[in-house]
Amino acid sequence: MLALILLLACSQPADPAPPEAGAAATAAATASAPTSHHPAFQAIMVRHTHQGSDPEVVLHLWLEAIYLMESDDPALRDAGEQALVALSLPLREDKEWRHRHSNVLFLDRIANQQHIFRSYAAGTSPEDGYAVDPAQFQIEITRRDEAEPGAPLRLYIRSSGADSPRPVSLKRSTTTGRYYLWEWSSLYVGVRKPHLPGEERFE
């Protein structure tokens, strides 16, 4: 299957769409979602409101949130974490998510092994240290497994530091039609480390 290249514009719609009326479960989920007044958080969530029916866009927004969490600016890091939680169903439904063993590892990878998630930006490589512009990057989706009724949708995203694309699962709201991340544990393991200047290698 031909690879799909996704390039998202960073511009936002002028006015966010009004919230949809929904079932009680959806209202409860919305109430539990994090909120932030930071413009970076608002920009991601407005785009999710307008483009969240496209799972590839949602995955891109999710990576944008992670890149914000890698910032040296505490306010940007907080905005990124809030956006990450808002786009991730297992996190937004669990107030203790930071203390779960799998999430401790996940957060450690974001904070201390930033090359892992940067490898999902198309055009990066171990040779250039996985350099990425968080404001404008592409992702490459190589495969899309359409979900059966009641099952998550699975996308396969290419990593420039791995030999094979990695799967990530998303679920769609039956009320709003928007997608959210459901499972992503394959994304933060087995990515080659960046090459250091002057590092001895054997090829």
DSSP states of 108-158: HHHHH-THHHHTTSTT--GGGTT---TTS-EEEEEEEEPPPTTS-EEEEE-
- Cβ partners under 8 Å of residue 29, min gap 6: 92, 93
- Cβ partners under 8 Å of residue 18, min gap 6: none
Structure tokens at 78: 């907080």
Convert the pLDDT of each residue in 98-110 to its tens digit. 999 889 999 999 9
Look at residue 138 in the predicted model and tell me its pLDDT. Answer: 96
Convert the pLDDT of each residue in 66-108 to its tens digit. 999 999 999 999 999 999 999 999 999 898 999 998 899 999 9
Residue 164 has pLDDT above 60, yes or no: yes
The average pLDDT across 140-159 equals: 92
Convert the pLDDT of each residue in 57-67 to its tens digit. 999 999 999 99
The average pLDDT across 7-25 equals: 40
Task: Compute the distance between CA of residue 52 and CA of residue 17 in angstroms, rounded to an integer.
Answer: 12
Place of tokens 């994304």: 187
Residue 7 has pLDDT above 90, yes or no: no
